Amino acid sequence: MGYIATLIDVTDGLPREIGGGERLLISAWVFIPVHPERVDGKCAVIVLLNGGTYDKRYWHISVPGRSGYSMAEYLQERGHVIVLLDHLGVGESSRPLNGYVLDRHIAASASQIAVTEIFDRLAKGQLDPSVPPLSPFVKVGVGHSLGGMQLITQQAAYRTFDRIAITGYTAIGVHMVHDGEHKSGYLGPVDYSRPAYITVSHELVRETFFFPDIADDVIAVDTALTVDVPYVLIVQSSTAGIITKEASEISVPVYICLGEIDVSPDPYSEPSYFRRSPQVTLHILKRSGHCQVLASTRVEMFDRINRWISDNDLHSSPPGVA
């Protein structure tokens, strides 16, 4: 099962100084199921936002000699439309010349423009000649790590999705694991003498990213996925309390998944930050590090998210009901 690659021009919706006169494009892969599943009478369109140091391939990993690492394919096979986006400045999306201006709000605006355009094309049957109109559909956002920060930022500003899932991120403030203990991962304030786009070695964060049982060949594939990321976004994603206000404004169901080893110093307090959500689900994935899609228990998370998306009760719950 493959995907449709597309580019969305987001230039006109962003401040002029971002692009420096160049067109800005968001790269996306769209996975269309053979037989779309219905959720409360609608298709589910799931947008997956990757974390820092990764691009959209995080959700569609292929490990030679092994299977079952692509969450995109897993959900596609269960009848959902999957959209993988590269954040502005990441992967195959455009890299703005003025990278220091590329903060979480600009990146969220770019994502909103791209997602809205893809939703519109899917509804009208204009994404690809092979894809008929899919409207109506349930809109689901999933964000990992830095992508979780971006998802919360986007949802609070635009109310894009009917429900959101946050994996490997924290409203408390990112803490990395060193010698078995959580320590603040704060990288700021922004140092403008540093490059606007940086690479972070996964070896430096191995104790947080991966549970000890992950095999060396899987680690090697992960290392090959490392990409440059906007420096300002990395700093912001490490800043304690940066999305606390936005999290309190989220008024749709929220699913939170954290690995047994992860960036939250207090996983069981995370749901309390989403005070307006009608339902908050907390899932601690055992034998998993921060990068849940690489864990030996990853399918447990894939299955839980699939069932959570397909739970019609979440669509009918009134605000304020837990």
Is the pLDDT confidence value at 208 over 60?
Answer: yes
Question: Residue 296 has what DSSP assignment?
Answer: T
Structural domain includes residue 318 = no
Q: Which helix (H) or strand (E) holds 259?
A: strand 254-259
Question: Residue 154 has what DSSP assignment?
Answer: H
Q: Which helix (H) or strand (E) holds 308?
A: helix 298-309
Structural domain includes residue 322 = no
Structural domain includes residue 317 = no
* Helices 146-158 and 104-124: angle between axes, nearest 10 degrees: 70
Per residue in 6-19, pLDDT (tens digit) is 999 999 999 988 88
* Residues in the chain, overall count: 322
Please report which confidence band the pLDDT of residue 264 belongs to, taking 50, 70 and 90 as the band edges. Answer: very high
Lowest-confidence pick of 41-45, 80-84, 154-158, 216-220: 41-45
Please report which confidence band the pLDDT of residue 292 belongs to, taking 50, 70 and 90 as the band edges. Answer: very high
Please report which confidence band the pLDDT of residue 322 belongs to, taking 50, 70 and 90 as the band edges. Answer: very low
Structural domain includes residue 123 = yes
CA distances from 106 to 18, 51, 103, 251, 275 (A): 9, 16, 5, 22, 26
Structural domain includes residue 320 = no
Tokens of 50: 């990757």
CA 213 from chain center: how many Å? 24
Number of domains in the chain: 1
Q: Rounded to whole angstroms, how far apart are CA atoms 73 and 146?
A: 22
Per residue in 123-132, pLDDT (tens digit) is 999 999 999 9
Per-residue pLDDT at 181: 79
Is the pLDDT confidence value at 269 over 50?
Answer: yes
Q: Tell me the longest C-alpha to C-alpha distance in the chain.
A: 53
What global pTM score does this model have?
Answer: 0.95
Per-residue pLDDT at 320: 38
Per residue in 33-51, pLDDT (tens digit) is 988 767 667 889 999 999 9
Per-residue pLDDT at 28: 98
CATH of the domain at 46: 3.40.50.1820
CB hemisphere CA count around 322 (13 angstroms)? 8
Tokens of 242: 């940066």
Per-residue pLDDT at 40: 66
Per-residue pLDDT at 13: 95
Structural domain includes residue 319 = no
CA 43 from chain center: how many Å? 20
Average pLDDT, the chain: 93
Q: Which among 178, 201, 177 is positioned nearest to 260, based on CA atoms?
A: 177
Per residue in 114-124, pLDDT (tens digit) is 999 999 999 99
Quote the domain boundaries for residue 274: 4-312
What percent of the chain is modeled with pLDDT above 90? 84
Structural domain includes residue 115 = yes
Per residue in 228-262, pLDDT (tens digit) is 999 999 999 999 999 999 999 999 999 999 999 99
**What contacts 151, CB < 8 A, 6 or more positions away?**
49, 141, 142, 143, 161, 164, 166
Per residue in 163-187, pLDDT (tens digit) is 999 999 999 999 998 878 788 888 8
- Average pLDDT value for residue range 274-303: 98
Structural domain includes residue 281 = yes
Tokens of 2: 């493959």
Per-residue pLDDT at 12: 95
Please report which confidence band the pLDDT of residue 81 belongs to, taking 50, 70 and 90 as the band edges. Answer: very high
